A and B are shown apart, each in its own frame.
Chain A
């Protein structure tokens, strides 16, 4: 029971980081129609921006804000400078995927060329640890979980109760129809890149805080977990991404408690395959019908 509770706690932390990243990724995909595989590379670039700020003597939370802003701006520029021109020329989805793969390499190895190949850590205190019945979480991990819940709530409010959120949903459902209804879809898309870029930066920094030590290639495996969470929940489904993140996060950590940890990702992906076999559109895809 103790090990189960402990792994449950680990799973919650992993799920929290994953949820922030997956929400940004799936919102970006649903509204912009770009399966941006460079998302993980932008995440780690954000983590390094926070590191630079932190090494300059500032608090890592200041670095987090800097990373959020930088990744937001960077994502808008990435779209304006790279993805949008291709889309305007009618590039196929697979072409866009290849372009995003190219951007992954450029950003990731560019970061590595600047930051070096070795791993780094933030100068920060993890704070006191609180525990109960085997569940042990540091103050920073509790903050990460809190931030994740905040992002989930904010996403819900954004999509359900704001004009922008409704415009995003309309653009995601049918861009042409949305434009014909008077929604300025190009502006919505730009704002979406800014919002999801900010989430990407936030995810990068809390990923690095959670890992404790990171390098330029640290998000390579994590990107696959993001994709798993997104497709488990239903591609384009913000709520699905939250649910998918929780399932993947818990599955990896809880399974590791009972089988050798080497196979924890295998267990998560077996669960994903079984789930998709039963519900090909994802956990929420079939129920909701249209993209959120």
Chain B
């Protein structure tokens, strides 16, 4: 060791390297904005007229769940483009900003703190998946910032965060939905293969309970380490348990790798898959189809998904807004039309529209002021006129009408915890990645498996 001979140049070089590394990490992990956002007056006060408002997509853009962030960003780009084309909100244009949580609470909290420190024009947060919701929702709530979250964690069923809104059902209902799909397809023996991330693990206990209640047999329950590169032993254990189907959510490279290894170890045959709605995304399809072959994958794949409209005025406006952003959204990949069915794509589009309309209705961009009007516009009041797009709803508001917004995610009905849970449909893929709806699940079917 010769510290005395270590002249400043290499020290400076080390510092430069680390700073460069930090910059790259920060670039990947925290925030990048789109559009021409300019600072406003702060998150809890109304922004000055003419300034831009920022919608932050707080979600994983890297790590195993990296497909989620771009899906929500596509929704944000589509919604804000349509809103801006219709004149914006109270004289403000909207922009989108990505905040990478890496799907890890330890990375998410600093990223969110940095977001608040650097985004004075923030008007709404979207994303907040189960990976990071438990850690970031209290932080966002303490900043009095409205958020539409994509978490299904049951703690949000009973803990009240005034600025928290959710258009997706609890994870336990999605677990029931997967079991109902398995029932409908005639499967009796079920293997579970879920990732070791928070968002995936929440499905397991409700699924096990529902499988038991449905009279099915749980053959094996495998936890997949999302950092591992192979799952051969897990695949062998699944095959050895002779399941009729595998229920799974293990995003990133985990599920595609597992599928490939099952196919190899099972004499070239796939075991049917029943996946969560998270599997309805272009990156997942692309990776899974590449791993086992598109025809094999689509022949063996079903997933639950929230019911979304596929026609009508709300869908027409939504599809036009979203497809207009094809090729413009950073991080999106694969068949862009799949985003029309992705749960985050549809319901966060609705969330952004609800918030934007609430701002107009309350004549404020402050979440503490416009928040209650999200409920009013979403649930509707007696005599409210139903409208299906931001442009139509904004025109009605300007005409002095009371409105109820009904987007492509269907009608909303917020409860006391600001949860509005829809019902489920059954999705499959075509070989080109197009999503097909093959059935619907009723609330009664889900209730039969609960408790």
Per-position 1/0 for B220-234, Cβ under 8 A of A: 001101011111111
Q: Is the CB of A126 within 8 A of B264?
A: yes
Q: Is the CB of A102 within 8 A of B18?
A: yes
Q: Which segment, of B250-258, B306-314, B368-376, faces chain A?
A: B250-258
A-B pairs with beta carbons under 8 Å apart, 15 shown: A3-B237, A6-B232, A86-B10, A90-B5, A103-B17, A106-B21, A117-B66, A118-B66, A126-B264, A212-B291, A213-B257, A215-B66, A218-B229, A257-B236, A264-B233
* B6 interface hit (Cβ, 8 Å): yes
* A186 interface hit (Cβ, 8 Å): no
Bound form: Cα–Cα A85–B14 in Å: 11
Q: Which residue of B lies closest to A225 (CB)?
A: B229
Q: Is the CB of B14 within 8 A of A105?
A: no
Interface residues on chain A, size class: 35 or more
Segment 35-91 of B: residues with Cβ below 8 Å from A: 60-64, 66-67, 69-70
Q: Is the CB of B66 within 8 A of A92?
A: no
* B28 interface hit (Cβ, 8 Å): yes
Interface residues on chain B, size class: 35 or more
What 5 A-B pairs have minimum CB-CB distances, sorted nearest first?
A117-B66, A90-B2, A119-B253, A121-B290, A213-B253
Segment 174-226 of A: residues with Cβ below 8 Å from B: 207, 210-222
Not counting A123-B290, A210-B230, A213-B290, a sample of 16 additional A-B residue pairs whose C-beta atoms are within 8 angstroms of each other reads A3-B236, A86-B14, A98-B14, A106-B24, A117-B62, A117-B67, A117-B331, A119-B66, A122-B290, A212-B230, A214-B253, A216-B62, A217-B227, A221-B228, A256-B234, A261-B234
Q: Is the CB of B227 within 8 A of A106?
A: no
* A82 interface hit (Cβ, 8 Å): yes
Q: Is the CB of A212 within 8 A of B256?
A: yes
- A residues with a Cβ closer than 8 A to B are 3, 6-7, 10, 13-14, 82, 85-86, 89-92, 95, 98-99, 102-103, 105-106, 109-110, 112-113, 116-123, 126, 129, 136, 138, 207, 210-222, 253, 256-257, 260-262, 264-265
Q: Is the CB of A221 within 8 A of B66?
A: no
Q: Which residue of B lies closest to A208 (CB)?
A: B229
Q: Is the CB of B291 within 8 A of A89?
A: no
Q: Is the CB of A109 within 8 A of B25?
A: yes
Contacts of B18 in A (CB 8 A): 98, 102
* B261 interface hit (Cβ, 8 Å): yes
Interface of B is mostly: helix
Bound form: Cα–Cα A98–B6 in Å: 15
Contacts of A215 in B (CB 8 A): 64, 66, 252-253
Q: Which residue of B lies closest to A89 (CB)?
A: B10
What's the nearest-Cβ distance from chain B to residue A122, in Å?
8
From B6, B22, B64, B196, contact of A262 by CB (8 A): B196
Contacts of A218 in B (CB 8 A): 229, 253
From A95, A129, A210, A213, contact of B268 by CB (8 A): A129
Contacts of B227 in A (CB 8 A): 217, 220-221
- B residues with a Cβ closer than 8 A to A are 1-3, 5-7, 9-10, 13-14, 17-18, 20-22, 24-25, 27-28, 60-64, 66-67, 69-70, 196, 222-223, 225, 227-234, 236-237, 240, 252-253, 256-257, 260-261, 264-265, 267-268, 283, 286-287, 290-291, 331, 333
Q: Which residue of B lies closest to A14 (CB)?
A: B230
From B70, B233, B331, contact of A7 by CB (8 A): B233
What's the nearest-Cβ distance from chain B to residue A286, in Å?
26
Contacts of A121 in B (CB 8 A): 256, 287, 290-291
Contacts A14-B230, A113-B27 given; does A261 touch B222 at CB 8 Å: yes
Contacts of B70 in A (CB 8 A): 118
Q: Is the CB of A10 within 8 A of B6?
A: no
Q: Which of B21, B223, B256, B286 has the most CB of A within 10 A?
A: B21
Contacts A89-B6, A117-B331, A118-B67 given; does A109 touch B24 at CB 8 Å: yes
From B13, B61, B232, B233, contact of A85 by CB (8 A): B13
Bound form: Cα–Cα A59–B60 in Å: 32
What's the nearest-Cβ distance from chain A to residue B407, in Å?
27
Contacts of B265 in A (CB 8 A): 6, 136
Q: Which of A14, A118, A122 has the most CB of B within 10 A?
A: A118
Contacts A109-B24, A121-B287, A262-B225 given; does A102 touch B14 at CB 8 Å: yes
Q: Is the CB of B229 within 8 A of A211?
A: yes
Contacts of A82 in B (CB 8 A): 17
Contacts of A95 in B (CB 8 A): 14
Q: Which residue of A lies closest to B227 (CB)?
A: A221
Q: Is the CB of A119 within 8 A of B252?
A: yes
Q: Is the CB of B240 within 8 A of A3?
A: yes
From B9, B257, B267, B268, contact of A212 by CB (8 A): B257
What's the nearest-Cβ distance from chain A to residue B258, in Å?
9
What's the nearest-Cβ distance from chain A to residue B294, in Å?
11
Q: Is the CB of B233 within 8 A of A261?
A: yes
Q: Is the CB of A116 within 8 A of B331?
A: yes
Contacts of B231 in A (CB 8 A): 261
Q: Is the CB of B287 within 8 A of A207?
A: no
What's the nearest-Cβ distance from chain B to residue A245, in Å?
14
Bound form: Cα–Cα A169–B271 in Å: 51
Contacts of B233 in A (CB 8 A): 7, 10, 253, 256-257, 261, 264
Contacts of A3 in B (CB 8 A): 236-237, 240
What's the nearest-Cβ distance from chain B to residue A107, in Å?
9
Contacts of B252 in A (CB 8 A): 118-119, 215
Bound form: Cα–Cα A212–B27 in Å: 28
Q: Which residue of B lies closest to A101 (CB)?
A: B21
Bound form: Cα–Cα A102–B18 in Å: 6
Bound form: Cα–Cα A262–B64 in Å: 17
Q: Is the CB of A217 within 8 A of B21?
A: no
Bound form: Cα–Cα A29–B70 in Å: 40
Q: Is the CB of B264 within 8 A of A261?
A: no
Contacts of A118 in B (CB 8 A): 66-67, 70, 252, 283, 286-287, 331, 333
What's the nearest-Cβ distance from chain B to residue A274, in Å?
22
Bound form: Cα–Cα A121–B267 in Å: 21
Contacts of B264 in A (CB 8 A): 126, 129, 136, 138
Q: Is the CB of B225 within 8 A of A207?
A: no
Q: Is the CB of B6 within 8 A of A91?
A: yes
Bound form: Cα–Cα A112–B286 in Å: 18
Q: Is the CB of A221 within 8 A of B17?
A: no
